Structure 1
Amino acid sequence: MDRLLHLDRTLDELDPPRWTAPAVDATHLVRKVHELRCVPLSELRPADLRTLISQRVALPHVLPLAVRLLLEAPLLDAYFYEGDLLLAAVEAPASAWAALPDLAARLRAVITTLPEAAVAELPRGAAEKLTRFVARPGSPG
């Protein structure tokens, strides 16, 4: 099933059950994630995807959207710094990527083409995270 066919739908529709409203005293992040579940997938911005991936929300639906962007611009600055969406994606659990082997392979291929100098400019530990993702079981060769 191509998850990108459902761009007019929300995560609340695609990833049941619908979430109840956040508590009155919920943090800004909790309220934001709840709000994002009600936004059509086509309207989610890179920063929204980074937030959802970092919070491990509806990964089967948001990882394909992120990869679509990352294939074009792997070091996209979603909100905090260049490469923040990529790093959020590679930190997603291996189990989420196991359900998306073709997308994982495509992202691994892009990562292996990143210039060493660009990777060196990412935050501390980023190169190791990228290396771990590329080396995960299911990786080619």
Structure 2
Amino acid sequence: MDHLLHLDRTLDELDPPRWTPPAADATHLVRKVHELRYVPLSALGPADLRTLISQQVALPYVLPLAVPLLLEEPLLDAYFYEGDLLLAAVDAPVSAWAQLPDLGARLRAVITTLPEGAVADLPRGATEALARFVARPESPC
């Protein structure tokens, strides 16, 4: 299924079950993720995608939105720092990427072309996270 065909719909519509409202004492992050489930996919920006991917919410829908951005600008500063969207994406579970093998392969190819100096400027552990992602098999065994 091409998840990009549903850009006018929200995650709450596409990714059942529908979520109940967050608790009154929910953290800012929990409230934000709940809010993002009501935003049409076409309106989600890089920071929104980073948040959803980091929280592992509706990955079959949000990873296909993030990868084209990363193919164009791998070290995109979505919200916190240069490369934050990329690092969120490569930290997504193998099972999520198994559903999107072509996108994963394209992202791995882009990562291998990143200049060593640019990767060295990323936060601690980023080099290892990128290397693990690149080393993953095309599909899980």
Shorter-chain TM range is over 0.9
- What is the aligned-residue RMSD (CA, Å)? 0.8
* 1:42 matched residue in structure 2: 42
* 1:83 matched residue in structure 2: 83
Structure 2 length normalisation: TM-score? Answer: 0.97
Cα shift at 1:138: 1.5
1:27-85 Cα shifts (integer Å, max 9, x gaps): 10000000000000000010000000000000000000010110100000000000000
* 1:29 matched residue in structure 2: 29
1:22 and 1:124 map into 2 onto residues whose CA distance is 33
The DSSP-based 3-state class of the residue aligned with 1:60 is helix
Structure 1: gaps spanning 5 or more residues: none
Point out 4+ residue stretches in structure 1 off by more than 6 angstroms. Answer: none
2:35 and 2:138 map into 1 onto residues whose CA distance is 34
* 1:9 matched residue in structure 2: 9
* 1:122 matched residue in structure 2: 122
The DSSP-based 3-state class of the residue aligned with 1:22 is coil
Seq. identity, %: 86
* 2:110 matched residue in structure 1: 110
AA aligned to 1:38 is Y
Structure 2: gaps spanning 5 or more residues: none
